[in-house]
Structure 1
């Protein structure tokens, strides 16, 4: 029987949605999902890392992608950058009482004007001023975009805590949240265990929060995300494989980049765009284990982890996490999953 959206639904008490980070990154909880479920702290993760393992991190950095402004009519608007498409252009979501028309001008942050060039699917194509790089302009005038289920505006603490400690490539409008749990102490202990780290970049778009709107999952179309996989990372994965170690993706963003790049043949370095949609039955070619947060009901990310670890196993894990009052979503707790090649 084909899978439907309801196969990935669950009841989550609203109070379990984390609204703020804990005082320390690695103080969050970690659910080890294997033959049994084991409740640990994230600071215990290195205990589950073996000599010769390779952890692959996404080094993207979250942009100050949220801007407020006005149309020439005076109407208020809110702009959320989806992704830059050049040094002075971007695709964006716009909230307004009436959608702006192509050719119209918007005043943003009471500081500069942008031109609406047209529509690209559900997004608006915007042209920004030529006299300053887009990323620099956003850093000066924009605000950090927190996810829609965090019911507060971004504060000073979010400037550091909604970024990973290794973030360095600006381009995302949402954090790769599994990486938020890592601090320098955990990274040091991973190295002391004899494991290595590698890096890639996948810029997360605002589309990651868009709900699946069709019951027939075969009709769903993913948002497009850009990624870069360096040759050093490809070489590190090959060396890990040859030595019998595991490739551990830190976050679904790292996994999507690796698996997308390996769909047409051996994993190769380079850049590209992916709309990969991972459902149960997907054949994983690169990743052996996954560090990830808890995901929204009926979300494509819940479908991805169900494909990786098994639907029944993930249902048990989520029931356990809710019963044990784990914290959910971006600022919530984490899981360590192992690939289940017999997953159904």
Structure 2
């Protein structure tokens, strides 16, 4: 048996392919389910449409969706002189770091933001006039501290002060479309850059594998007896972060919050050892992170909620390797002991060739950018066969990236 690659030593340039600009889908199709579906089953590739998906899945599958909802996190403010400043809200800092609490905050708050055109913003607040319920409203933003990578801590305040910050973003903000689309968001994006099952606000990028699903397809899954469940991973801007390091050892993986209800853990446990299918890389990272959280709890039962985090290299270190059922049972025991209804944690998990999957046996996903961590994840699942999948997609006219076509990857 060949020795698996060491993910730290992988060179990102080995995961390059040529993606012509015209193959990047600039707009969604009029019909979500009309997208094409490449099926790779144990290395055998076939061409379908997304409406064929329910019939292509193993009949005893459990399909896991990420039910995060994209927030309108881009704010286009003005300096007193009239110059524009763009603020991209990344994560809350004060008075709450917990996302759901931060979005319900009234009057004022502090967020870490990416700042566009910030060099001319020397001091003082910038402002954004908007309307809420037909009445005039104003948001002010003041830079507290600049950080590395163009990020800054931004103090926000607004009138009417009684508005939750979530309502401010809905009324004043714009959807943060992927930067490679090179266009402003539209009324169509407001609907189509959300999944039909989106429920919990907090993402700044859509879990795009789910954009193809319609209520009719979800109903057909149920009619065929294919079980479904939901996790929440609030997709961060780091999903677009390019890998600039030559070797993966020097690439810092971004951190994202995950929330998984006890009922889903019980569903996963009862489903073992039948196949679990992830809808999208975010669902997959969440599911695999659950395994490593459970493994960590078995090693250190005294772990506090603040310490619940999967590190980038945790799966590649020597240590306890429980069965998936043991890891899930450890999570349920932790929830029982703490009186919690859900696991709330963070993950920096990097899945790359050399990774051994614990909970997931298949993936539904779009086609990803060259030299990206998402492509590394696909390569970890398929092995060297990832190139055949991408070569086929390029040769047969598939559309790529967020608004592009889909694939069902079953390694066999």
Q: Counterpart of 1:316? A: 388
Q: Is the contact made by 1:81 and 1:91 (CA closer than 8 Å) also made in structure 2? A: yes
Comparing 91-100 with 173-182, which one deviates more in the overlay? 91-100
Tell me which of 128, 133, 143 is aligned to 1:108.
128
Q: Counterpart of 1:124? A: 152
Unaligned runs of 5+ in 2: 131-137, 296-326, 332-341
Using the TM superposition, give the Cα deviation of residue 121 of structure 1 relative to its aligned residue in structure 2, in angstroms.
Answer: 4.5
Q: Distance in 1 between matches of 2:363 and 2:204?
A: 22
Q: Distance in 1 between matches of 2:255 and 2:79?
A: 28
Give 1 or 2: higher helix fraction: 2
Q: Is the contact made by 2:40 and 2:411 (CA closer than 8 Å) also made in structure 1? A: no
Q: Counterpart of 2:72? A: 64
Q: Counterpart of 1:31? A: 38
Change (3 A) 1:233 1:339: farther
Of structures 1 and 2, the larger Rg is shown by 2
Q: Is the contact made by 1:50 and 1:194 (CA closer than 8 Å) also made in structure 2? A: no
Change (3 A) 1:154 1:272: same
SS of the aligned residue for 1:309 comes to helix
Asked if 1:154 is matched to 2:182, the reply is: no
Using the TM superposition, give the Cα deviation of residue 151 of structure 1 relative to its aligned residue in structure 2, in angstroms.
Answer: 2.7
Asked if 1:90 is matched to 2:163, the reply is: no
Matches for 1:67-216 after TM superposition, within 5 Å? 67-72=75-80, 74-84=82-92, 85=97, 86=102, 87=105, 88-98=109-119, 100=121, 104-109=124-129, 111-119=138-146, 121-122=148-149, 123-129=151-157, 131=161, 132-216=163-247
TM-score, normalised to structure 2, is: 0.78
Unaligned runs of 5+ in 1: none
TM-score, normalised to structure 1, is: 0.92
Q: Is the contact made by 2:74 and 2:175 (CA closer than 8 Å) also made in structure 1? A: yes
Matches for 1:319-334 after TM superposition, within 5 Å? 319-334=391-406
Q: Distance in 1 between matches of 2:59 and 2:124?
A: 58
Q: Distance in 1 between matches of 2:114 and 2:120?
A: 10
